């Protein structure tokens, strides 16, 4: 067992130009940031957390069913069936993404399940747990759980037929999306994990989750298109709920709708100014 760690979407807090959350409160306050209280954290649903043990280390992904319920259901089904165990990262592009999930390990295979209908966008309702961070050009950007999201501004709900607005996951580092061919409705089992931001994928590929721990592992995977003799692989993939209690990591994530993170949003916007992006928001994660 590795010692308990607090990470920010896969990056050690010590590697970031931000105060460590494990620092004493007095030290954090001296730097202008108070440490989050117990009430500022949330425990993600273990049925929506994938634990991917690779040959390079562990990656933990939070699935967000509000944005793509069909894709999240498929990921759970294939994970529980063991389809992802042993699958290689066969297509990995630096400053882009790492692709895996093919039973043939070459980009030409899929599971025995039918293809999925695209879920490029979703309807954001008044009950959607969306934490807005900025409102550029009549839109709103923010987080839904751990997933960065772009949405029509809520004011548009006054004129839409269903009283809701359109929203979609945006491809920041760590976001997980489903691969497909030219047919929008051809996603099946292959998926990719973003190594860097790539917003041109927005509304073209279904985003359904985000790496909350292990981004450095994804960025360490051997690159190639395709990877020559790929050795990097997902050795074992499990849903957190299915891991025996004695082995199960304890995961907490900062509540994006809480008071502490609202302050963090204000701080990042002040630092970045006009260059602020939702990808700038670092979501603290505590894994023990």
The CA-CA-CA angle for residues 11, 14, 19, to 5°, reads 110
Sign of the dihedral defined by the CA atoms of residues 9, 15, 17, 22, in that order: positive
Residue 116: is its pLDDT beyond 50?
yes
Q: What is the pLDDT of residue 209?
A: 98
Given a contact cutoff of 8 angstroms between Cβ atoms, the answer to whether 212 and 174 are in contact is: yes
Closest of 165, 178, 48, 198 to residue 118, by C-alpha:
178
In this structure, whether the domain defined by 46-287 belongs to CATH 2.40.100.10 is answered with yes
Condensed to tens digits (0 to 9), the pLDDT of residues 3-13 reads 333 334 433 33
Residue 196: is its pLDDT beyond 70?
yes
The CA-CA-CA angle for residues 199, 200, 204, to 5°, reads 110
Reported as a pLDDT band with limits 50, 70 and 90, residue 32 is low
What's the pTM value of the predicted model, to 2 decimals?
0.89
Chain mean position to CA 237: 16
Q: What is the pLDDT of residue 21?
A: 31
Calpha distance 152→149 (Å, rounded) = 10
């Amino acid at each position: 067992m590795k010692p308990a760690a607090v990470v920010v979407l896969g990056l050690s807090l010590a590697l970031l130009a931000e105060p460590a959350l494990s620092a004493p409160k007095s030290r954090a306050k001296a730097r202008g940031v108070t440490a989050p209280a117990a009430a500022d954290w949330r425990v993600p649903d273990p049925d929506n957390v994938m634990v991917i043990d690779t040959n390079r280390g562990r990656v933990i992904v939070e699935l967000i069913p509000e944005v793509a319920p069909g894709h999240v259901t498929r990921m759970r089904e294939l994970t529980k069936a063991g389809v992802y165990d042993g699958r290689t990262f066969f297509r990995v592009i630096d400053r882009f993404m790492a692709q895996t999930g093919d039973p043939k390990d070459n980009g030409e295979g899929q599971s025995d399940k039918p293809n999925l209908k695209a879920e490029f966008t979703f309807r954001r309702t008044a009950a959607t747990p969306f934490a807005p961070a900025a409102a550029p050009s009549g839109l709103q950007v923010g987080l839904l759980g751990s997933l960065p999201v772009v949405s029509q501004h809520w004011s548009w709900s006054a004129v839409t037929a269903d009283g809701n607005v359109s929203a979609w996951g945006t491809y920041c580092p760590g976001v997980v999306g489903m691969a497909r061919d030219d047919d929008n409705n051809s996603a099946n089992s292959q998926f990719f994990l973003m190594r860097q931001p790539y917003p041109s994928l927005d509304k073209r590929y279904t985003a359904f989750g985000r790496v909350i721990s292990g981004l450095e592992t994804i960025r360490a995977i051997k690159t190639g298109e395709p990877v020559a003799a790929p050795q990097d692989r997902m050795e074992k993939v499990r849903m957190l709920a299915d891991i025996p209690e004695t082995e199960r990591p304890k995961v907490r994530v900062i509540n994006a709708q809480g008071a502490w993170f609202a302050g963090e949003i204000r701080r990042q916007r002040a630092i970045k100014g006009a260059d602020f992006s939702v990808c700038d928001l670092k979501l603290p994660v505590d894994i023990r």
